[in-house]
């Protein structure tokens, strides 16, 4: 390799100096390069600077010529050289002040060295261009000079304006501001007023804020005064007004304590910022609830507003939550009274416009029935809890009426103190509520079990006599001490309301204003459930504890003491034609032509024994009331007192005991006349029509408290089923008594098909439509009784049985609904039922045609063709409903589609299908 060629990858010359490096000996060993100055040429442009060049002026004497020693003495001045009489020499007089003015300041050209000039050479210091920094007077002068284009305003004393604005923020008139009743707003007494150092626009902006704050305070005070003065104010509105008044008074106390530290408008504005935000939100809340007419509605609106600000200002949310606990208290107290954890007022629940009302729509006689108006329940209470509240209170009314000595009806007699419903928002408070509810449930369960074993509470100690004795002994001493305490109070200085009242709302408001919240409040705000869940978490433990014990107790009493199963079986036996003896005797009394007629005839005495209405064999209809009594007399009594149901209620060994003739059937069961409309009465007038017996019904009044299960709605369903079964019973009697021999084939075929249709339909109705659903309900009741027995054996209460009368009532009504559905009696099945009624009417026309004394316009051929065509259409509709998706809700529910069984019974051999082809 060429030695002159540099190898870029060689490492043997790494120590060598680079060829581009300078020789360090060329420079002086100094941090800074030497300053090159031409000293002889430097001249300073300064009046007091040397006149000659610096090299001459700064030249020092030579060291060799310099001699140490005293300076030579100067020549003395001649005394005659200075004389006061000597006129001054004629010299030009100079004006020193004028010269100084022309020359300017002595240090005008002096350079002041700063860090900025060191870092940035040539930087020129500039003075501030803001006139406001020169002082308020300069700013006022500038505003006055520019008054032609911009209004400068009138300058008032700063202290006066600050005091006036302070009063204005509290809703008070002052020297500068007064309230205008016509405009309902504060107005300044001096237009365009401002303080020194503020522009008119800036001052007016602050004044506008305080005017709005003062108007807000007056609006809230007016709301408070109107609420307290009105005799019609609801408790929730009074609670809201009290809370608003407490907050305003706390604001006044806080602002009064801070007023001594205010020196400027900005400090005053900053002091009012937080109260202004809170007052504005409270004013909007008050405005939102002004149209609320009930406690529940007002508290629900307030709860909705709190949910809106859940993710907003935490301080305002805490404040509104505290207000909500007070506003919701009247509604919660009403709930507590209804479920039995608070003392009831003298005014009945249904007279307070609450969620409880009395059902007066039914014309049936009996004990009043309470109905639940869910729309009157506060919206922060869930649907499940609302239903539980109503059912618990409804069952409790039964206990208080029929078992007033029970611990659930009189818990205070057993020294059981139930806690009140509280609304809390922190986890710790909610857990405390759960512990209280659990302790109350255990205590009340123990008292109930003692009561069920026959133990009675010890009478409460009467301390009135001992108290009166001690009171009489200490009366004089207490009176003297009272006078002395009053004197001390009058002599003491007045205390602020905030310090005298231990109000949680005032404490919370003061903490928010002072930004010094305690650790507990901070913890509760940090560790708290979502607001929509707080109501459920706060109320449900106590509601569930009360409901479990009430449900378990009422079910025991209903099934054991009040014989609910007996009355349910009574409905099955008579309303649903479950007793064959009853249905046979009733059919004979109504339709048998062999019985003696109960119709009044001149010259003929009625025997009153085995009499009947002979429907279908007489022309006069409807029967008189006396005929009904004679025909139906004894049908119910003889059927009931000879039935197994009656003997099951008798004690062992008394099966042959004679009953009292004055005994009434359970629930005053008897025949009655149904109230009909005019169109319905016209249909009843025809004895050969299908509707001839629609006026007859079974009257049953459930004895209190069984009306809680056998409700008016259930009785209406029973009545609807009974009316249909009475028509069916008539059809069964008619087809069974049709002649078996006819001279023509049409009559034979018509009689055969009518008999097949009616008997197959009745078999489906009684076996599938009624018996199957009722057996499922009866099994449910038996299961409940079995679980009650297991609880009794374990000496427990409310552990295995948590459902109450509501579940029993629901199961009962679902059973009736399923029967109505299977019998095609629901409203949506009216067209199918209309087809069935047309078939029944054709059968009745055929039976009428067999009576030689009556005339039927249709011929036998027409009747047969119509009957067969209607049956075909009915079967076709049933087949379509059987395969229709969504018709019914499946097996085991209240609306099981059982029409396929009816199709099998009516057309097992495909007779009608073959006839159609």
Higher pLDDT, 252 or 894: 252
Is the confidence at residue 559, as pLDDT, over 60? yes
| Helices 899-906 & 860-883 angle (0-180, nearest 10) | 140
Say how far residue 604 (Cα) sits from the centre of its chain: 73
Enter the tokens of residue 174: 């002052």
Per-residue model confidence (pLDDT) at position 607: 58
Is the confidence at residue 628, as pLDDT, over 60? yes
Work out the average pLDDT over 225-236.
91
- Do 616 and 593 meet the contact criterion of CB atoms below 8 Å apart? yes
Per-residue model confidence (pLDDT) at position 602: 59
Per-residue model confidence (pLDDT) at position 594: 85
689 to each of 315, 762, 838, how far by Cα in Å?
A: 77, 19, 11
Count of C-beta atoms within a 10 Å radius of residue 367: 15
Is the confidence at residue 391, as pLDDT, over 80? yes
pLDDT digits (tens, 9 = 90+) for 868-879: 999 999 998 988
Is the confidence at residue 108, as pLDDT, over 70? no
pLDDT digits (tens, 9 = 90+) for 150-186: 777 787 887 888 888 898 888 888 888 888 888 888 8
Taking the C-alpha atoms of residue 351 and residue 866, their distance in angstroms, rounded to an integer, is 58
Per-residue model confidence (pLDDT) at position 516: 44
Min mean pLDDT across 462-476, 528-542, 695-709, 811-825 is at 462-476
Say how far residue 840 (Cα) sits from the centre of its chain: 53
User: In this structure, what is the dihedral angle of CA atoms 34, 40, 46, 49, given to the nearest 10 degrees?
Assistant: 100
Taking the C-alpha atoms of residue 244 and residue 240, their distance in angstroms, rounded to an integer, is 6
775's enclosing H/E stretch is: helix 773-793
Per-residue model confidence (pLDDT) at position 77: 43
> Which residue's entry shows tokens 């229709």?
884
Sort strands 356-358 and 370-372 into parallel, antiparallel or unpaired: antiparallel
Is the confidence at residue 82, as pLDDT, over 50? no
pLDDT digits (tens, 9 = 90+) for 561-588: 899 999 999 999 999 999 999 999 999 9
Is the confidence at residue 604, as pLDDT, over 80? no
- Do 817 and 716 meet the contact criterion of CB atoms below 8 Å apart? no
The pLDDT-based confidence of 549 (bands split at 50, 70, 90) is very high
Per-residue model confidence (pLDDT) at position 810: 92
Enter the tokens of residue 873: 């259409």
pLDDT digits (tens, 9 = 90+) for 22-79: 665 655 555 555 555 555 555 556 555 666 666 666 666 665 655 655 655 655 544 4
Taking the C-alpha atoms of residue 484 and residue 864, their distance in angstroms, rounded to an integer, is 109
Work out the average pLDDT over 187-215.
85
ω before 622 within 30° of 0 (cis)? yes
Is the confidence at residue 782, as pLDDT, over 90? yes
Is the confidence at residue 196, as pLDDT, over 50? yes
Min mean pLDDT across 112-126, 284-298, 752-766 is at 112-126
Higher pLDDT, 363 or 169: 169
| Structural domain boundaries in the chain | 154-291, 735-916
Taking the C-alpha atoms of residue 535 and residue 526, their distance in angstroms, rounded to an integer, is 18
Higher pLDDT, 45 or 122: 122
Higher pLDDT, 851 or 103: 851
- Do 418 and 341 meet the contact criterion of CB atoms below 8 Å apart? yes
- Do 631 and 611 meet the contact criterion of CB atoms below 8 Å apart? yes
The pLDDT-based confidence of 663 (bands split at 50, 70, 90) is low
Per-residue model confidence (pLDDT) at position 601: 63
Per-residue model confidence (pLDDT) at position 87: 43
Count of C-beta atoms within a 10 Å radius of residue 474: 11
Per-residue model confidence (pLDDT) at position 500: 39
Per-residue model confidence (pLDDT) at position 614: 85
- Do 896 and 887 meet the contact criterion of CB atoms below 8 Å apart? no
Enter the tokens of residue 718: 């029973």
Per-residue model confidence (pLDDT) at position 297: 93
356's enclosing H/E stretch is: strand 356-358
Count of C-beta atoms within a 10 Å radius of residue 511: 17
Class of residue 763 by CB neighbours under 10 A (exposed 0-12, middle 13-18, buried 19+): middle
Select from 651, 741, 715 the least CA-distant residue to 365: 715
Select from 544, 877, 563 the least CA-distant residue to 702: 563
Work out the average pLDDT over 317-332.
92
Helices vs strands, H then E, count in the chain? 33, 10
Per-residue model confidence (pLDDT) at position 296: 92
Most confident segment among 87-101, 507-521, 778-792, 892-906: 778-792
Select from 534, 550, 612 the least CA-distant residue to 407: 550
User: In this structure, what is the dihedral angle of CA atoms 854, 856, 859, 863, given to the nearest 10 degrees?
Assistant: -110
Per-residue model confidence (pLDDT) at position 435: 94
Enter the tokens of residue 387: 């239903």
pTM of the entire structure?
A: 0.71
Taking the C-alpha atoms of residue 885 and residue 883, their distance in angstroms, rounded to an integer, is 6
The overall average pLDDT reported for the chain is 80
The pLDDT-based confidence of 365 (bands split at 50, 70, 90) is low
| Rg, C-alpha atoms of the chain | 53
Enumerate residues 6+ apart whose C-beta is below 8 A from 861.
746
- Do 732 and 762 meet the contact criterion of CB atoms below 8 Å apart? yes
Say how far residue 38 (Cα) sits from the centre of its chain: 95
Higher pLDDT, 674 or 135: 674
Taking the C-alpha atoms of residue 174 and residue 261, their distance in angstroms, rounded to an integer, is 20
Per-residue model confidence (pLDDT) at position 521: 44
**DSSP per-residue letters across 833-860:** HHHHHHHHHHHHHHHHHT-TTS--SS-H
Select from 840, 843, 866, 848 the least CA-distant residue to 752: 843
């Amino acid at each position: 390799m060429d030695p002159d060629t540099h190898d870029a990858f060689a490492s043997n010359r790494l120590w060598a100096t680079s060829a581009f490096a300078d020789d360090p000996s060329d420079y002086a060993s100094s941090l800074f390069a030497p300053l090159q100055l031409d000293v002889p040429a430097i001249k300073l442009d300064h009046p007091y600077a040397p006149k000659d060049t610096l090299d001459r002026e700064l030249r020092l004497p030579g060291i060799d010529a310099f001699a140490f020693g005293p300076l030579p003495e100067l020549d003395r001045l001649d005394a005659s050289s200075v004389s006061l009489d000597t006129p001054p020499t004629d010299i030009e007089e100079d004006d020193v002040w004028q010269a100084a003015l022309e020359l300017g300041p002595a240090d005008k050209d002096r350079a002041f060295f700063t860090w900025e000039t060191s870092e940035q050479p040539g930087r020129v210091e500039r003075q501030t261009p803001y006139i406001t920094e020169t002082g308020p007077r300069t700013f006022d002068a500038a505003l006055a000079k520019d008054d032609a284009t911009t209004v400068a305003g009138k300058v008032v004393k700063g202290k006066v304006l600050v005091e006036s604005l302070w009063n204005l923020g509290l809703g008070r008139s002052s020297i500068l501001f007064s309230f205008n009743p016509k405009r309902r707003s504060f107005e300044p007494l001096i237009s365009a007023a401002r303080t020194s150092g503020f522009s008119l626009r800036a001052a007016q902006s602050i004044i506008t804020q305080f005017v709005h704050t003062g108007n807000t305070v007056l609006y809230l005070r007016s709301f408070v005064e109107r609420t307290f003065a009105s005799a019609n104010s609801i408790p929730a509105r009074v609670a809201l007004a009290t809370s608003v008044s407490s907050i305003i008074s706390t604001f006044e106390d806080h602002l009064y304590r801070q007023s001594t530290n205010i020196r400027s408008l900005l400090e005053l504005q900053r002091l009012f910022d937080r109260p202004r935000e809170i007052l504005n939100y409270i004013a909007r809340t008050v405005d939102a609830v002004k149209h609320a007419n009930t406690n529940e509605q007002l508290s629900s609106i307030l709860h909705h507003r709190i949910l809106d600000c859940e993710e907003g200002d935490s301080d305002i949310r805490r404040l509104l939550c505290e207000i909500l606990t007070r506003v919701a208290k009247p509604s919660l107290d009403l709930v507590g009274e209804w479920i039995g954890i608070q003392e009831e007022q003298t005014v009945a629940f249904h007279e307070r416009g609450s969620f409880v009302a009395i059902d007066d729509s039914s014309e049936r006689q009996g004990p009043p029935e309470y109905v639940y108006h869910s729309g009157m329940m506060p919206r922060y209470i869930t649907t499940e809890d609302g239903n539980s509240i109503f059912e618990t209170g409804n069952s409790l009314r039964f206990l208080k009426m029929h078992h007033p000595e029970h611990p659930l009806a009189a818990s205070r007699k057993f020294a059981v103190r139930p806690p009140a419903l509280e609304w809390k928002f922190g986890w710790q408070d909610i857990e405390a509520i759960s512990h209280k509810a659990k302790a109350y449930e255990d205590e009340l369960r123990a008292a109930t079990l003692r009561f069920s074993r026959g133990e009675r509470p010890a009478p409460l100690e009467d301390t009135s006599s001992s108290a009166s004795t001690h009171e009489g002994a200490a009366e004089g001493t207490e009176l003297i001490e009272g006078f002395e305490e009053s004197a001390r109070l009058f002599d003491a200085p007045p205390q602020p309301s905030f310090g005298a009242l231990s109000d949680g709302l005032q404490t919370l408001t003061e903490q928010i204003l002072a930004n010094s919240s305690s650790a507990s409040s901070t913890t509760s705000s940090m560790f708290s459930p979502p607001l929509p869940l707080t109501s459920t978490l706060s109320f449900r433990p106590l509601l569930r504890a009360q409901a479990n014990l009430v449900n378990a107790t009422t079910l025991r009493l209903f099934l054991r003491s009040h014989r609910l199963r007996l009355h349910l079986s009574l409905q099955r036996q008579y309303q649903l034609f479950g007793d064959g003896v009853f249905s046979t005797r009733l059919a004979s009394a109504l339709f048998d032509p062999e019985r003696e007629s109960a119709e009044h005839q001149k010259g003929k005495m009625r025997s009153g024994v085995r009499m009947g209405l002979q429907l279908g064999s007489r022309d006069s209809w409807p029967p008189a009331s006396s005929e009904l009594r004679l025909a139906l007399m004894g049908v119910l009594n003889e059927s009931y007192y000879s039935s197994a149901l009656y003997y099951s209620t008798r004690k062992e060994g008394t099966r042959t005991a004679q009953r009292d003739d004055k005994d009434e059937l359970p629930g005053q069961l008897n025949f009655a006349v149904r109230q009909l409309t005019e169109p319905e009465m016209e249909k009843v007038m025809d004895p050969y029509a299908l509707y001839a017996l629609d006026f007859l019904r079974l009257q049953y009044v459930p004895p209190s408290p069984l009306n809680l299960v056998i409700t008016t709605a259930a009785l209406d369903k029973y009545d609807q089923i009974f009316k249909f079964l009475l028509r069916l019973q008539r059809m069964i009697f008619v087809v069974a008594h049709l002649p078996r021999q006819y001279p023509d084939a049409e009559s034979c075929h018509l009689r055969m098909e009518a008999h097949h249709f009616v008997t197959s339909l009745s078999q489906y109705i009684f076996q599938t439509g009624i018996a199957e659903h009722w057996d499922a309900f009866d099994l449910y009741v038996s299961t409940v009784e079995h679980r009650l027995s297991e609880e009794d054996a374990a000496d427990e209460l409310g552990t295995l049985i948590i459902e109450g009368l509501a579940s029993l009532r629901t199961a009962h009504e679902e059973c009736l609904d399923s029967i109505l559905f299977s019998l095609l009696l629901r409203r949506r099945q009216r067209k199918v039922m209309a087809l069935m009624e047309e078939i029944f009417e054709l059968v009745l026309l055929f039976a009428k045609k067999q009576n030689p004394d009556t005339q039927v316009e249709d011929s036998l051929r027409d009747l047969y063709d119509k009957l067969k065509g209607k049956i075909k259409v009915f079967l076709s509709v049933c087949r379509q409903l059987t395969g229709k998706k969504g018709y019914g809700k499946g097996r085991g529910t209240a609306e099981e589609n059982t029409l396929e069984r009816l199709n099998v019974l009516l057309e097992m051999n495909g007779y009608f299908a073959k006839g159609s082809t």
